[in-house]
Amino acid sequence: MKNSLIVALDFANKQEVHQFLEPFGNEQLFVKVGMELFYQEGPSIVYELKEKNHQVFLDLKLHDIPNTVGSAMRGLAKLGVDLVNVHAAGGKDMMMAALEGLEVGTPAGFVRPKCIAVTQLTSTSEEQMNREQLINVSLEQSVLHYASLANSAGLDGVVCSSHEASIIREQVGADFLTVTPGIRLASDEVQDQKRVATPEFARGAGVSAIVVGRSITRAEDSVQSYHQYKQAWEGVLK
């Protein structure tokens, strides 16, 4: 999980996924299945990806009452995914229920999927958070608060932007995962993201895993773009 580059498979159906993955040949990727794809294809797309030995982050961002989230997680644990998530705004009881559901649902002999909580979406700015959510602290404080709450619920980490990763590592712990979308090369379009960073910045901040979507999946040459991101992400290690 640590040092991974996760590719967001934000596609409308399986056929588009196959078309995207075909040029990668036998290369094993860490991929993210989000709402767009899962709501169309359901568990079968996860089984297919796992069959091809890809690691899978099932990004459904669960946010409901504890009983509902716990029961849903019990089912998701059976899919054999590596990583799932919830919204930290659902509260500590909900996050604890999510974890318990995963523990109960994971088949004997299998590893429980890691569970992380979304803090503030990377498409949210501080001004927007203050105005729309009526959270009148800095964005960093809000993210750190949610990270501490997720940690106290026993979760494995959070989704945040690369800009909050180092303070989370310092204050919550170095083993607590920070998974960061909003990753762009300096030359890329930012699109709807607000808190963006380059792969090099993410690595310098001690991020555990970066998530890259459209810059790779919509590139003219996706394999080349993937390797460009991977090199930028891993290059700083050398």
Question: What minimum distance in Å lies between the beta carbon of 177 and ligand LLZGTKA7?
Answer: 14
Of the candidates 3, 65, 61, the residue with the CA atom closest to the CA atom of residue 32:
61
* 34 marked as binding residue: no
Alpha carbon separation from 79 to 72, 102, 122, 176, 227 (Å, rounded): 12, 11, 27, 24, 29
* 63 marked as binding residue: yes
* 213 marked as binding residue: yes
Question: What minimum distance in Å lies between the beta carbon of 1 and ligand LLZGTKA7?
Answer: 16
Please name every residue paired with 116 in a beta bridge, in sequence order, or none if there are none.
85, 157
Please list the active-site residues. Answer: 61
Give the span between the Cα atoms of 140 and 132, in whole angstroms. 16
With 0-12 CB in 10 A as exposed, 13-18 as middle and 19+ as buried, what is 58? buried
- Which CB, 102 or 183, lies closer to ligand LLZGTKA7? 183
- Which CB, 97 or 210, lies closer to ligand LLZGTKA7? 210
Alpha carbon separation from 85 to 102, 187, 208, 216 (Å, rounded): 11, 30, 15, 22
- Which CB, 151 or 180, lies closer to ligand LLZGTKA7? 180
* 62 marked as binding residue: yes
Question: What minimum distance in Å lies between the beta carbon of 238 and ligand LLZGTKA7?
Answer: 25
Q: What phi, psi does 63 have (nearest 5°)?
A: -155, 100
Binding residues for ligand LLZGTKA7, rule: CB under 6 A, are 8, 10, 34, 118, 121-122, 159, 181-182, 193, 211-215
Which residues participate in the annotated binding site? Answer: 10, 32, 59-68, 122, 184, 193, 213-214
